[in-house]
Structure 1
Amino acid sequence: MTLVVPDPTRTVPLPLRQQADVRDRWLTQRLLDVLPGLMDRAGIDLWIVTGRENNEDPVLATLLPAAWLSARRRVVLLLHRSDDGVTPVAVSRYPVGQFLSGWSPEDGGQWDAVRRVVEQAAPRRIGVDVSASCAPADGLTVSEHRALTAALGPWAQRLVPAEELAVGWLETRLPEEVAALDALNRLTARVLRQSLSPAALTPGVTTAADLAWWLHQRLADLGVPPWFHPGVTAQRAGVPLRDDGGVPLPAVPQDAVLQPGDLVTCDAGLVSLGLATDLQRSGYLLRPGETAPPPGLQAAWTAGTRVRALTAEALVPGRTGNEVLAAARAAADAEGLAAEVYSHPVGVHGHGAGPVIGRWDDQAPLPGAGERVLHAGTVYALELAVRATVPEWGGQGVRLALEEGVVLTPSGTSFLGSPQQELWTVPAS
């Protein structure tokens, strides 16, 4: 299949109709090439995903045709694993894309049709989306669970949580999806570069809140809306880091005007082709007469890129998120670098399903999501922060955050887009 992905040199992504064509081709390929192995790995031979309009299971959105912006009435999707692959059946009032129709209202009730499909499949284990540790895999509502259980009768005894299957489906990316995310990361980085330039930022005039809204508007105007309101933080000499439950964080308020001499970090992520990005970029606002950041900030940046490399090296298939966290922190400690690692999966959702590698406010091993195993073919936001002191700021501490997109391969990680290699500068106005 020849894939057309957004060109990062363009000012707009693919037109919506072309995006829908691409997404529907991806869904067909994922049902054929990805889902059978995931169902085998989870030991589930029938997966039922059900949701109602305006209250969809997060997984359901990834199985519907791209032109469906939500469920229509109630949609029940049944994916049956057999020797021939996976047979997708929809018990729905309306046709559902690639799914075979399993119901016509003339034939009786919707739940009766679900029961008939299950009886024909005769599954050993029926997976449903219930999870205590992964929100996107916990989309089966109480009322839908009750209705499904009542409809299945004795078959309900074979219901099991489909947590591992749902996580695998959400976290696994096709090579073509990875290529698209590479382009989308480049586009995100380009917009972030514009934000830390005179195109969006005038030292002495622009506030942090102004810049965050500039980013939000810019992404919306490009047709790649953000999945969270962009974050902008500033650090400056004379404004020490504040303590937030033991975590030192920037203390310059959002309504403060950004001034020459500030260290500014922007955090943004967009959504296109059903995929999300999550990146951070940092820049220094030059004082009059300066041509480069102070050496102390340069050293902090160098330390940050070193921890970034060490964390990338720790991302190894087969390790758990907690094991990656321990390895990355141990490597940083061995080099005398004060670091926090809090990387996370990214793909269908910005904070995606899959192994979590620490949290910014909790560097202890995490139960549940931290115990999941990393798999090749998944994409992560490699996110971290380093703490350092700046002699030119009277020994004041800074907390420098970095975040890049990476794809996990059988041999390690590869960066997506163009990682930030140096601390950017913004000229004095």
Structure 2
Amino acid sequence: MTLSAPDPTRSVPLPLRQQADVRDRWLSERLLDLLPGLMDRAGIDLWVVVGREYNEDPVLATLLPATWLSARRRTVLLLHRSDDGVTPAAVSRYPVGQFLPAWSAAGAAEGGQWAEVRRFVEQADPRRIGVDVSARFALADGLSHTEHRLLAEALGPYAERMVSAEELAVGWLETRLPEEIAALRAVNELVHQVIAEAFSAAVVEVGTTTVVDVAWWLRQRFADLGLEPWFHPSVLLQRAGVPLAEDDGTLLPAVPYDAVVQHGDVLHCDVGVTHLGLRTDTQRNAYVLRAGETAPPAGLRAAMATANRLQDLTVAALAPGRTGNEVLASARASAAAEGIDGDVYSHPVGYHGHGAGPAIGQWDEQRRVPGAGDYPVHPDTVYALELAVRRPVPEWGGQCLRLGLEEGIALTGDGVSYLAGRQTDFLLIG
């Protein structure tokens, strides 16, 4: 009997063994189809990724087999670009999945691990040796001080050829295969379903349930489904009569973090889960109906429409070749022209929730983000489209509402698409 390959778009989450099969297949495809072009773009002939157990380079985890949960002892991965593609080799005491073994017990007796690295480099004779050091991106700065020193000593005169692999590391981390994007669509759909359940009368008992209760319900529900969080869910509440508070120039909700949910409240959640080694990041909003209401007040609905418009303007600015700061400036200029009071702070999401790639604003920095904001946008990437608007609500006596939205979007050659739709109406509790 022939077993079909697991389909990560049909079952979320997949059983752990099937997840491992999918992740290892993706890694093979990425090494074969994706990495050569990324190395050519960065002008790197040999990429050296080094990590010791309990002090792994963040990139290293994305190159290891699914059954490896960390480095073992010292793990050295060598990715050599040649006319035939990329040759992945491992100078490690243990076999490393798809990587060719370049060291053994016999090799250990002939000079040790670093000597084998030197022999590999001499044979490859690369012009530029990429190592993970970066001032702009923490995720591309994973080569520790000690490992950098030992590598340089081992390479001898070849150490002069070492360069930052920042562009390569970021490209590897941010670029998604089509099947990875499809899988992210499926898990984002599930996240939306769970949030809809959390923001319902099945979970929220008005006058009894606190926002802390809802946050822990979300955490437990995802755990029961087999989805791990990459941060603890947050649930915030806004209500008439409790104005926003200023925090370093930014207006934020001021209702106590453990407040009991009441009729007329606006609830907001921020959740992020992990599946197949990929992350999600989602924010959604709900309204608790008052007696006799069948919909939120018009002022709240207008705020949602304004937030959706800011999404449109940001998506329109998100184009390959632009830097994150250029996208931010364009979106904010368009918003100002339409009288929208809001902030844009979107970011890549993939192997990491706040992923490597162009930062498009930060909630406390709306002019430009130094470093990461100067990185350009590339196709075949996924972002958390994260932003917020502020708008007075007539039904609240003109009190300002801060409405935050965050949705997964994919940027491909076909343009921008929402991974699982977007919120255009409040979820209703009542």
TM-score (ref. length: structure 2): 0.97
Matched, 1:256 2:283: no
**What does residue range 179-198 of structure 1 map to in structure 2 within 5 Å?**
179-198=182-201
State how many pairs are aligned. Answer: 424
Matched, 1:154 2:151: no
TM-superposition CA deviations, 1:207-250 (whole Å, max 9, x none): 11111111111111111111000111110001000000000000
Q: Which residue of structure 1 aligns with residue 66 of structure 2?
A: 66
Q: Which amino acid aligns with 1:154?
A: P
SS at match of 1:280: strand
Q: Which residue of structure 1 aligns with residue 41 of structure 2?
A: 41
Matched, 1:420 2:423: yes
- Kept in 1, the 8 Å contact 2:9–2:182? The answer is no
SS at match of 2:153: helix
User: % of aligned pairs identical?
Assistant: 66
**Gapped regions of structure 2 (runs ≥ 5):** none
- Displacement of 1:418 after TM fit? 2.6
Select the residue among 363, 369, 373 that pairs with 1:366: 369
Instruction: Tell me how far apart the structure 2 counterparts of residues 138 and 188 of structure 1 sit (CA, whole Å).
Output: 31
- Displacement of 1:312 after TM fit? 1.1
CA RMSD of aligned residues (A): 1.2
- Kept in 1, the 8 Å contact 2:130–2:162? The answer is yes
- Kept in 2, the 8 Å contact 1:317–1:409? The answer is no
TM-superposition CA deviations, 1:372-406 (whole Å, max 9, x none): 11011000000100000011111100110001110
Q: Which residue of structure 1 aligns with residue 23 of structure 2?
A: 23
Select the residue among 209, 216, 219 that pairs with 2:219: 216
Matched, 1:395 2:398: yes
**Gapped regions of structure 1 (runs ≥ 5):** none
Instruction: Tell me how far apart the structure 2 counterparts of residues 112 and 371 of structure 1 sit (CA, whole Å).
Output: 39
- Kept in 1, the 8 Å contact 2:48–2:130? The answer is yes
SS at match of 2:229: coil
- Kept in 2, the 8 Å contact 1:76–1:92? The answer is yes
Instruction: Tell me how far apart the structure 1 counterparts of residues 412 and 125 of structure 2 sit (CA, whole Å).
Output: 37
Q: Which residue of structure 2 aligns with residue 138 of structure 1?
A: 141
- Displacement of 1:199 after TM fit? 2.3
- Displacement of 1:6 after TM fit? 4.3
Select the residue among 267, 283, 290 that pairs with 2:286: 283
Q: Which residue of structure 1 aligns with residue 89 of structure 2?
A: 89
Relative distance call for 1:342 and 1:377 in structure 2 (3 A) is: same
Q: Which residue of structure 2 aligns with residue 127 of structure 1?
A: 130
- Kept in 2, the 8 Å contact 1:384–1:401? The answer is yes
TM-score (ref. length: structure 1): 0.97
- Kept in 1, the 8 Å contact 2:304–2:424? The answer is no
Q: Which residue of structure 2 aligns with residue 205 of structure 1?
A: 208
SS at match of 1:164: helix
Instruction: Tell me how far apart the structure 2 counterparts of residues 327 and 3 of structure 1 sit (CA, whole Å).
Output: 42
Instruction: Tell me how far apart the structure 1 counterparts of residues 412 and 379 of structure 2 sit (CA, whole Å).
Output: 5
Q: Which residue of structure 1 aligns with residue 56 of structure 2?
A: 56
Instruction: Tell me how far apart the structure 2 counterparts of residues 105 and 201 of structure 1 sit (CA, whole Å).
Output: 61
SS at match of 1:283: strand
Instruction: Tell me how far apart the structure 1 counterparts of residues 412 and 6 of structure 2 sit (CA, whole Å).
Output: 20
Q: Which amino acid aligns with 1:183?
A: A
- Displacement of 1:2 after TM fit? 6.3
Select the residue among 306, 312, 321 that pairs with 2:315: 312
- Displacement of 1:411 after TM fit? 4.4
Q: Which residue of structure 2 aligns with residue 348 of structure 1?
A: 351
